[in-house]
Amino acid sequence: NVPASYMPALNGELRGGHAYQDFAVTPYLGSYFYIINTKKHPNVHFRRALALAVDRIQIPRFLHGGQIGSAQYMPGTPIAQLADADLAACGVTRDHPGVASVMEPGTLCYVPPPGLDFDPGRAREELALARAELGGALPSRITVKFNSGVELHKLIAEFLQRQWREILGLDVELEVQEWKTFLKDTADGDYEVARMGSIGNFPEPEAEFLPMFKCGVPDNRTRFCDPAFEAAMARAETTVDRKERLTHV
């Protein structure tokens, strides 16, 4: 784990654009995100408010590691950087926002749903809807957990703490835990909001990334369970044609 404070020197930001010879940034099939315990925060408007109040584009600017800020769950290549053949396979134009996952160059592509991207106005509207439904039970304070040992976890948590305080008026407490304790607490549902990540072996949303949100699976730390999502995954799992299968997810 390279501290974020080292990155500007390693990647050449502080050396006139000249990176160290043994430093390189290459694509990684991983997504970094925060999970919300849906049992402790069942109100969908409150959860949407948290998502909409995060300006993900700012995060790479203080991590300096070439990360891609995105509200899309499935990682991919910025659409603006795709080859022409991949754009055609994705069915989008170069000015389409977000990322796309190219599975077979020029043949098979998946454009993830856009997600709830940064929109302070909508975030406050969702918070108002949550307040109307919850009344005095609306949370004014939440605890965010992350594991120790990696500097970027702390930096991102502090960024979210500031965003949620300034945009939503929430009091956010940060709790740092040793890795094994963190894994146990999130698996047991002993958390409100926590940092998490998902690393894939292959660019397959239906097999590598989405199954962790199915009802009752061990990796579903959010306790999220939605019949429509289950039905979509079931259709994908029984569809042989790969291109058609992706339309279900």
Nearest to 143 by CA among 177, 166, 120: 177
Spatial neighbors of 129 by CB under 8 A, at least 6 apart, are 45
Q: What is the pLDDT of residue 2?
A: 86
- The phi, psi pair for 12, rounded to 5°, reads 95, 0
Q: What is the pLDDT of residue 25?
A: 87
Q: What is the pLDDT of residue 27?
A: 87
Q: What CA–CA distance (Å, rounded) separates 16 from 8? A: 10
Q: What is the pLDDT of residue 225?
A: 96
Intervals of the chain under pLDDT 70: none
pTM of the model: 0.94
Q: What is the pLDDT of residue 209?
A: 94
Q: What is the pLDDT of residue 73?
A: 95
Q: What is the pLDDT of residue 144?
A: 98
Residue 189 Rama label (left phi>0; alpha psi -120 to 50; beta): left
Residue 120 Rama label (left phi>0; alpha psi -120 to 50; beta): alpha
Q: What is the pLDDT of residue 47?
A: 98
Q: What is the pLDDT of residue 139?
A: 96
Residue 1, token pair as written in the block: 């784990």
